Chains A and B, each alone.
Chain A
Amino acid sequence: MIQAKQTPLADWHRSHGGKMVEFAGYEMPIRYEGVLAEHRRVRHQCGMFDVSHMGELEVRGGAARAEVHRLVTNDVASLEPGQVVYTAMCNEAGGVLDDLLVYCLSDEVFWLVCNAANHSKISAWVEGHLGAGARMEDRSEATALFALQGPRVREVLEKWPRLSGHLGRVLGLEYYRAAQVDLEGIELLVSRTGYTGELGFEVYLPASQAPEIWEEIVEAGASCGLAPIGLGARDTLRLEAGYSLYGHELDETTLPYEAGIGWVVRPRAGEFVGRDALLQAKEAGISRRTVGLEVEGRHIPRQNAAVLAGGEVVGHVTSGGFSPTLESGIGLARIAVGLGDAPLSVDIRGKQVPAERVKLPFVPSHVKD
């Protein structure tokens, strides 16, 4: 059996009550004080996630911009240094290979941040598809990533002593903007991004400095309600925010349009892998789409549960769970188009439970607060 990899903080998680599970080949904390408490902490105060398992691929060179643009569906050609964009990477058929963030660090340096589960696939794909004038370096092993999320994160950053000289620049970041910070010789990349629907920042840093910096932020944030948050709450938070998760809403047989992330496809911005197939699909019209559902009563829809309309199966749940904010069962579902307002139900262990279509996100977004 292959030994699960560890982030630089695995020992810290274990010694601070983290319940560890294997996720995407990494040993990761699923929870500390409990998923519900952690979820509410992020919604009302703030929390910090160790997401160092994510993959960071650096593409640099004179042709880096053009080459990265050609590999993803969103517009990289017009990104300014310090700008971040959420995008899909598709195969020739328009199926989603992964969803990722692209950071424009300079005109010739771009970072692609991919899911841990897709890391080796994406790394090989990028390497294999890059043309002349750009080369890729996998920075994942050397890079740690912390996500600070919640309404009180600005207070935490204000109380982090070593950040004081850079505070104006970091706190001044707009949504999906990033700043490189030299923290006494430690290079940080800080961005106004996240996966919870709350105000938040993500901090990329050298793996070797991760335990030291983590401890500093934990200490700085103690009086602001900051605590470590596990992957369990990361999932309930992203589901309430209506965000897609690879392997659930997204996979290689699903088009971005069908997964509810059609807005990341920018055919007018230039050529990219999968563009022809996606243009064709858009013109022909898609047959499935992704919707938010809230089920009645004390039931929870789970992934793969059938969705029914008029007694017929019209799709299935791609992500489901309990919403701690709404205190009800919610889910994202991929269903046939053209159902109109036909009442839907979800098959939950043989019982047809009425489900209401809900506009996404399930809870109000605070990312731009």
Chain B
Amino acid sequence: MRPEDRKYSPQHEWVRPDGDTMVIGITDHAADELGDIVFLELPEEGAELAPGDSLGTIETVKAVEELYTPVGGVVVEVNGAVVDHPEKVNEAPFDHGWLVKLRPDGSELETLMDAAAYDAMVDGD
């Protein structure tokens, strides 16, 4: 079972409540499918995002993938460590491989999956 302290999107992002902010990252499944991540482009602090807006791009050895935020809000922190060392996302996608922190503007979390539902989606049941 994946961590139960957060919600999951069908696009393989996770969202974890942290005080009055939301931490966003990609799942282990996404990180494994993408393979080695070599460059990450993330939004600037202060950027206002609506749900579904671009959260940046992930360049892997083989391809480039666009990231979309599952929740709307204002970016309050960007994980500079993963921008400098993108391999951290592959190493620990649920932990120090997080991407951005948002101050959310609504409650779209309702539409996201819990860990059990996400497990069933990617691993079958």
Contacts and interface: CB of A to CB of B under 8 A. Distances in A.
Interface string A218-250: 000000000000001000100000000000000
Contacts of B64: 300, 302, 349
Residue from B35, B38, B59, B87 whose CB has the most chain A CB atoms within 10 Å = B38
A31 B59 contact: no
A34 to B, nearest CB: 5
A31 B32 CA distance: 11
A35 B60 CA distance: 10
Contacts of B90: 34
A322 B61 contact: yes
Interface string B67-103: 0000000000000000000010010000000000000
Nearest to A321: B61
Contacts of A31: 35
Contacts of A289: none
Interface of B: 35-36, 38-39, 41, 57, 59, 61-64, 87, 90
Contacts of A300: 38-39, 59, 64
Nearest to B90: A34
A36 interface: yes
A35 B38 CA distance: 11
A236 B63 CA distance: 12
Contact of B38 (A232, A302, A322, A349): A322
A322 B35 contact: no
Contacts of B62: 35, 232, 321
Contacts of A35: 35-36, 61-62
A166 interface: no
Interface string A8-50: 0000000000000000000000010011110000000000000
A298 B61 contact: no
Contacts of A139: none
A357 interface: no
Given A34-B35, A300-B64, 18 more contacts: A31-B35, A34-B90, A35-B35, A35-B61, A36-B36, A36-B38, A36-B61, A36-B87, A37-B36, A298-B59, A299-B39, A299-B59, A300-B38, A300-B39, A321-B61, A322-B39, A322-B61, A349-B64
Contacts of B41: 298
A302 to B, nearest CB: 7
Residue from B35, B59, B61 whose CB has the most chain A CB atoms within 10 Å = B61
A35 B63 CA distance: 13
